[in-house]
Chain A
Amino acid sequence: MHDLGALSPNAFLIISLIKIGITFTLVMVVVAMLTLLERKVAGWIQDRLGPNRVGPGGLLQPAADGLKNILKEETSPREASRLYFFLAPALSIIPALITFAVIPFAAPLPTRWGLVDMIIADLPIGILYILALTGLGVYGIVMAGWSSNNKYSFLGAMRASAQMVSYEVGLGLSLVPVFMLVGNVTLTQVVWTQQEALGFWLCLPLGLAFFLFVISSFAECNRLPFDMAEAESELITGYHTEYSSMKFSMFFIAEYSNMLTASALMATLFLGGWDIPFWTGDNMRVIAPGIVEGANPAWWKTLLTLGAFGVKTFFFVFLFMWVRWTLPRFRYDQVMHLGWKVMLPTALAFIALTGTTILVLDLSGLRYGSFLYGLILTAVNSIALVLFLWVLDRDRVISGSPPASVQARRFGVPPRVEEPMTAGVPEPETAGV
């Protein structure tokens, strides 16, 4: 227990403003850099170099893009609904930016005025706040698509709303095991649980939830393979077809800051947040203003943990890009199929499984936080994860269309010629009847 002194109300106000300023600037700069990184990764994956003309190694490319977008002519379609057309970009960028407020990004920093939390707002309802705001994100897209008065935009918006509503369910339900294990929805508490109280990063005892959460996040951010809303090839970028110049840019910023927030959230919830693994020197939490439990805070610990948080977040950002430039887009029915018939039941089953396991462990008198406690949870989860992946893999769940024999039974299609792909391949069992 270390008492480092609480901030005075005035100092709290000033430091909060500074934190907001720094975080906002940092997020915007990182988002700008992410657009460059996306193009670089795309280039590298396709054996190209990526943009490298503006500034050293292309680093000033985002500035050039931003300048171009500001200077471009603003167009709005004659038939568009003015108010909503203007409102939509704002509505999609605001939730994307303010979700970052509740994510703790480093260990608390001791200053001469008192202890400073490295989080903008340590809300007691942390994750619920994030869920509520990501739910708002769909309004911007639907409004944009509807007000453009363009059939492709409208189709994109319809798809987006259906998809985001569906995956919101999976997203929320995959978080329930986290709440059950942590016993709290505050993000600082989630980090503390992973550092000290449980001692396991939640991706181990809740790996299946992690998997589902990652997939749902991809869908929530409208990123490939779930970019139904944009679908360049079919819908000419969907909901933002009619937008130009800075309004288009705002959708772009919203997409990338959504991605950044989702990555930070995944890192916080399942990879220990700003925790540095195998080191107890950073295991600390603020239990009251100015009072820290656990290790002693120091400025260099804040820096190190900030670095750890950055690395973890970057890993997920990179995963987003890597997946985007690898996987093809799902068909719409496959997206819905995956969302409602795979993610939802799996998440529910996993809630039941985790709940039962926790209950049994608690009843058996095992101490919460002991190594065995986490180990048993991890083992149960591993079995569940393997089972899930095996079923997903074996039954071709994602393919959407049922196997030939089922189709024949259901639609009365006459039996057809079935040709094995290659002569040497052994005949497979009839899949998933």
Chain B
Amino acid sequence: MAITVKTMRRPQGKASYLRASLKGMALTFRHLVRTEKVTLEYPDEKPELAPRWRGTHRMEVHADGRPKCVACGLCPTICPSNCIRLVPGEDDQGNRYPVVYEIDEFRCIFCGMCQEVCPVEAIHVGQDFENSEYTRERFVYDLDRLMAQDHPVTALWDPSDPLGQ
């Protein structure tokens, strides 16, 4: 049996190329003269980021300048792209601290799970996207660089308020 094709029977007014063209021309003209445009002139205007928008990381610091990180090792464990390198150390009072803490922002997929898993709210993903560099090496952020970041951090998802209202 031959293939049957379902055809839509359209009323004349909807099938006419001529009328459709004129309608389209009227529509585009209305948009042409419309004054409000959607263009965001980026370097001059910055986009408004959503509160849960995730960008490059930031490490919280104590008042005396030490990182809040206790080198528990949860973030390199949960990191799906394996971009966090952590070498833990311990001082003479028995406090753990990170000797090496590096995040490869190239490997990072910005899922934000490091921030969610951190027990002391030390590592955060932040609201920053202007992070271009001249060399690839510069994209491995070390501890000093992470602590020096000062952009706002991303808000976590609140289960009691799932839509963020």
Please list the residues of chain A having a beta carbon within 8 angstroms of any beta carbon in chain B.
Answer: 41, 43-49, 52, 322-323, 325-327, 389, 392-394, 396, 398-399, 404, 412-414, 416-421, 425-429, 431
Query: A41 vs B25: C-alpha distance in the bound complex, in angstroms?
Result: 13
Q: Which single member of B5, B15, B37 contacts A399 (CB below 8 Å)? A: B15
On chain B, the residues within 8 Å of A414 by CB distance are: 1-2, 4
Interface size, B (range): 20 to 34
Min CB distance A407 to B, Å, is: 9
Asked if B38 is at the interface (CB within 8 A of a chain A CB), the reply is yes
Asked if A421 and B6 sit within 8 Å, CB to CB, the answer is no
Residue of A nearest to B25 (CB): A326
Q: Complex Cα distance A52/B25, Å?
A: 25
A48-B37, A399-B15, A413-B2 known; A421+B28 contact, CB < 8 A = no
Sample of 9 A–B contacts (CB below 8 Å) = A44-B31, A44-B34, A322-B28, A326-B21, A392-B18, A394-B12, A399-B15, A416-B5, A418-B7
A393 with B19, Cβ < 8 A, contacts A44-B31, A47-B38 known: yes
Task: Report how far A145 CA is from B12 CA in the complex, Å.
Answer: 40
Secondary structure dominating the interface of A: loop
Is B10 an interface residue, CB under 8 A from the partner?
yes
Question: What is the interface of chain B, defined by CB distance below 8 A to chain A?
Answer: 1-2, 4-12, 14-19, 21, 24-25, 27-29, 31-34, 36-39, 41
Query: How far is B37's CA from A429's CA once the two chains are assembled, in angstroms?
Result: 43
When A49-B39, A323-B25 are in contact, do A393 and B16 touch as well, CB less than 8 Å? yes
CA distance A109 to B126 in the complex (A): 70
Contacts of A418 in B (CB 8 A): 7, 9
- What residues of chain B lie closer than 8 Å to A417, measured between beta carbons? 4, 6
Inter-subunit contact B17/A396 (CB<8 Å): yes
Of the candidates A41, A47, A413, A417, the one having the most CB atoms from chain B within 10 angstroms of its own CB is A47
Q: Closest CB of chain B to A433's CB: distance in Å?
A: 13
The reply to whether A398 and B2 form a contact with Cβ atoms under 8 Å apart is no
Task: Identify the closest chain A residue to B12 (Cβ).
Answer: A428
Whole-angstrom distance between the Cβ of A286 and the nearest chain B Cβ: 39
Do B2 and A322 touch (CB < 8 A)?
A: no
The reply to whether A426 and B24 form a contact with Cβ atoms under 8 Å apart is no
Q: How far is the CA of A45 from the CA of B37 in the complex (A)?
A: 10
Q: A47 and B34: CB pair below 8 A?
A: yes
* Chain B residues closer than 8 Å to A394, beta-carbon distance: 12, 16
When C-beta atoms are compared, the residue in chain B nearest to A46 turns out to be: B31
Task: Report A-chain residues with C-beta under 8 Å of the C-beta of B14.
Answer: 421
Give the top 7 A-B pairs by smallest Cβ distance, nearest first. Answer: A49-B39, A398-B17, A326-B28, A393-B18, A44-B32, A45-B28, A326-B24
Distance in Å: Cβ of B10 to nearest Cβ of chain A: 6
> How many angstroms between the C-alpha atoms of A326 and B21 in the bound complex?
8
Of B8, B16, B33, which contacts A419 at CB under 8 A? B8
Q: With A414-B1, A414-B4 in contact, is A421–B16 under 8 Å at CB?
A: no
User: Which residue of chain B has its CB nearest to the CB of A430?
Assistant: B9
8 Å CB contact of A47 from B8, B29, B37: B37
Q: Which of A47, A404, A431 is close to B15, meaning CB atoms less than 8 Å apart?
A: A431
Nearest CB of chain B from residue A209's CB, rounded to whole Å: 18
Question: Whole-angstrom distance from the CB of A2 to the nearest CB of chain B?
Answer: 44
Give every chain A residue within 8 A of B17 (Cβ-Cβ): 392-393, 396, 398-399
B2 contacts A419, CB within 8 Å?
Answer: no
B40 CB to closest chain A CB, in angstroms?
10
> 14 other contacts beyond A398-B18, A404-B7, with CB at 8 A cut-off?
A43-B39, A44-B31, A44-B37, A45-B32, A47-B39, A52-B41, A322-B29, A393-B16, A417-B4, A419-B6, A421-B10, A421-B14, A426-B11, A431-B12
